[in-house]
């Protein structure tokens, strides 16, 4: 069942109290991503070790969807193997949100995912060297 | 012929309003694009069903018909803005018109000189000049403009230097709704030998505009913002300037003769219309011009003035401290554009502030009340940033909107505030 943005308990909960919000000092990876259509930005920080995401934090300036999806994503990937997270698809992220989103809003939902995947790919590439 | 200006009567000419009524949609994104009346749709269908063929070349019957329809459309559109057919160039939209102007003028001026624009410009009157300056000695400068009053000659005058070759300004801001005061600007600029360009994308659809009164050298507008289909727009130019400007795109239709190593350009307007043009677009725009002429552009402007006055009054009555809007408060200098944000400076425990993101405003307005707003920077990032925000929500009106639509807007703003502000 898809919720609607008019009222979605899960979205509201994460928007009001986003999990893992903040900054990591001296992160192993960090990135700044922007959604050009609305100006949403997210700064994301990772502490990585033994092929796992040890810690994930972010500072987001954005809409309901982008903040809540960053919060949900951070809960889902914390402590997970990098290789496992890289297997997560865009559709997985959208299903965690449980919202029926149009293509424009999907960009908001996937901003944090795009940021995370970019960092993990870079990490994997460097680990292989 | 529509005698009384009655938005509800006007709606009957727009097939899409049947769907709007069925689905409870209040369309308030007219600064982005407008709906199309049957008169325009039928003109296009009629062309394809009866006269379709390429223009200019065919000496057979329907080829001549198509050429005649295309030429008469140009004459009609030229008359609508007080211009001449040879100075009325068909392009895709105002964006293409301004790109044509920037590219061609850069070459005409030998890549030297300064272009002045305002901060309230749409990106289409900023980026083409930035591109020009990346490949030539052309320099772009943004002059000071105000968010609460129109730009006047005095504002422009103090930024002009000996190097200024072009002043390119918007007639009406697509974000603030400001109607700039361009009287005297053309005359004064010509005394200084400076080229005057007007981005009229938000004025030609909404008020009487006459290129002779404006004394502009070039003027750009889009068809789709004035009832016509997308993909057709106009660059109007003074013929004596257009004659001096080099072509923009090369190809068929824009040449007199082509040799192995050079070409000679066609006369205006064909010089700037390379390739098979958007014939049905020109015919559609001409039908749109007829529709607007029937309503009377003074009536169109008065109707929108009434809607924006009512909007500003409703806003004041709401007395909602978290509702912040932008632009001049005097309806005399304000078009039918209302950009706003919902934000509270204090309160709430969220780490990122107690404000409603404009994307959430437009998403919620759609889902709660069927009110269709736009959100974002509206292709005016420098102006948006100068307001201290990164985005706004925007309602914009046209001939078929009513005070009732404005009431829906404020109902939904109230509901969004209660939903989102803690």
Q: Given this model, what pLDDT does residue B195 score?
A: 98
Residue B216 falls in the annotated catalytic set = no
pLDDT, tens only, B334-388? 999 999 999 876 666 667 667 889 989 999 999 999 999 999 889 999 999 899 8
B266: left (phi over 0), alpha (psi -120 to 50) or beta: beta
Same domain, B179 and B62: yes
How close is the nearest chain A Cα to the Cα of B389, in Å? 10
User: Cβ of B301 under 8 Å from any chain A Cβ?
Assistant: no
Beta strands in B93-247 (DSSP E): 112-118, 137-143, 164-170, 195-199, 218-222, 233-237
Q: Tell which of A17, A42, A63, A104 to mutate to test the B interface (max B CBs under 10 Å).
A: A63
Average pLDDT estimate for B96-110:
98
Q: Is the pLDDT of residue B331 over 70?
A: yes
**Any idea what DSSP says for residue B350?**
-
Q: Is the pLDDT of residue B2 over 60?
A: no
Domain assignment of residue B2, yes or no: no
**B205: CB partners within 8 A, 6+ apart:** B34, B221, B225, B226, B227, B292, B398
Say which CATH number the domain at B398 has. 3.90.1150.10
Best mean pLDDT range from B58-67, B131-140, B344-353, B359-368: B131-140
ipTM above 0.85, yes or no: no
**B277: CB partners within 8 A, 6+ apart:** B55, B70, B90, B253
Q: Which domain-ending residue is among B271, B294, B317?
A: B294
User: Cβ of B419 under 8 Å from any chain A Cβ?
Assistant: yes
Same domain, B277 and B324: no
Average pLDDT estimate for B120-135:
97
How close is the nearest chain B Cα to the Cα of A14, in Å? 10
Say which CATH number the domain at B76 has. 3.40.640.10
How close is the nearest chain A Cα to the Cα of B142, in Å? 22
Report whether B231 contacts B253 (CB < 8 A): no
Measured between CA atoms, the residue of chain B closest to residue A38 is B376
**Total count of domains within chain B:** 2
Residues of chain B in contact with residue A65, where contact means CB-CB under 8 angstroms, are 359-360, 363
User: Cβ of B366 under 8 Å from any chain A Cβ?
Assistant: no
pLDDT, tens only, B5-14? 999 999 999 9
Domain residues for the domain of B222 are 40-294
Query: Quick one: how far is CA B226 from the chain centroid?
Result: 9
Same domain, B12 and B84: no
Q: Given this model, what pLDDT does residue B347 score?
A: 61
User: Cβ of A100 under 8 Å from any chain B Cβ?
Assistant: no
Domain assignment of residue B337, yes or no: yes
Catalytic residue among B179, B379, B391, B409: B379
Q: Which domain-ending residue is among B274, B294, B314?
A: B294
What is the CATH number that goes with domain A3-127? 3.90.1010.10
Residue B168 β-bridge partners: B197
More confident residue, B303 or A64: B303
pTM of the model: 0.92
Residues of chain B in contact with residue A39, where contact means CB-CB under 8 angstroms, are 376-377, 384, 390-391
């Amino acid at each position: 069942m898809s919720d609607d943005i008019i009222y979605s308990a899960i979205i509201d909960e994460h928007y009001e109290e986003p999990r893992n919000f903040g900054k990591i000092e001296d992160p192993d990876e960090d990135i700044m991503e922007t959604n050009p259509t609305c100006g949403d930005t997210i700064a994301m920080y990772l502490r990585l070790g033994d092929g796992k995401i040890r810690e994930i934090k972010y500072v987001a300036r954005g809409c309901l969807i982008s903040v809540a999806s960053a919060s949900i994503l951070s809960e889902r990937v914390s402590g997970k193997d990098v290789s496992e997270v890289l297997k997560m698809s865009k559709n997985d992220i959208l299903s965690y949100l449980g919202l029926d989103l149009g293509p424009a809003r999907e960009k908001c939902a996937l901003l944090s995912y795009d940021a995370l995947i970019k960092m993990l790919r870079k990490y994997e590439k460097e680990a292989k060297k | 012929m529509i005698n009384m200006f009655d938005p509800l009567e006007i709606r009957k000419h727009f097939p899409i309003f049947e769907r709007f009524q069925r689905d409870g949609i209040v369309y308030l994104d007219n600064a982005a694009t407008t709906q199309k009346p049957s008169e325009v749709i039928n003109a296009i269908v009629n062309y394809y069903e009866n006269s379709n063929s390429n223009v200019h070349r065919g000496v057979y019957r329907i080829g001549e018909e198509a050429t005649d329809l295309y030429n008469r459309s140009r004459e009609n559109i030229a008359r609508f803005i007080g211009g001449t057919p040879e100075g009325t160039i068909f392009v895709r939209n105002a964006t293409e018109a301004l790109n044509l102007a920037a590219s061609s003028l850069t070459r005409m001026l030998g890549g030297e000189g300064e272009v002045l624009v305002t901060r309230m410009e749409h990106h289409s009157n900023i980026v083409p000049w930035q591109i020009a300056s990346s490949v030539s000695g052309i320099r772009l400068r943004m002059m000071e403009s105000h968010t609460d009053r129109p730009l006047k000659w005095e504002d422009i005058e103090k930024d002009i230097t000996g190097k200024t070759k072009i002043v390119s300004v918007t007639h009406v801001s697509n974000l603030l709704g400001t109607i700039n005061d361009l009287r005297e600007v053309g005359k004064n600029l010509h005394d200084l030998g400076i080229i005057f360009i007007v981005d009229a994308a938000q004025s030609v659809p909404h008020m009487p505009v006459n290129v002779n009164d404006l004394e502009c050298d070039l003027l750009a507008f889009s068809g789709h913002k004035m009832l016509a289909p997308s993909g057709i727009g106009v660059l109007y130019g003074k013929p004596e300037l257009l004659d001096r400007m080099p072509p923009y795109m090369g190809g068929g239709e824009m040449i007199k003769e082509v040799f192995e190593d050079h070409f000679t350009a066609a006369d205006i307007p064909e010089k700037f219309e390379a390739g098979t043009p958007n014939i049905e677009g020109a015919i559609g725009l001409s039908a749109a011009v007829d529709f607007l002429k029937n309503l009377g552009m003074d009536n169109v402007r008065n109707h929108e003035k009434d809607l924006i006055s009512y909007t500003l009054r409703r806003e004041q009555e709401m007395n909602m401290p978290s509702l912040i809007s932008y632009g001049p408060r005097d309806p005399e200098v304000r078009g039918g554009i209302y950009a706003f944000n919902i934000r509270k400076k204090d309160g709430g425990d969220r780490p990122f502030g107690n404000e409603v993101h404009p994307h959430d405003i437009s998403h919620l307005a759609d889902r709660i009340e069927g009110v269709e707003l736009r959100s974002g920077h509206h292709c005016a990032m420098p102006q948006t940033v100068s307001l201290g925000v990164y985005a706004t929500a925007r309602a914009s009106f046209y001939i078929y909107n009513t005070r009732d639509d404005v009431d829906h807007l404020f109902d939904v703003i109230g509901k969004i505030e209660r939903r989102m502000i803690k």
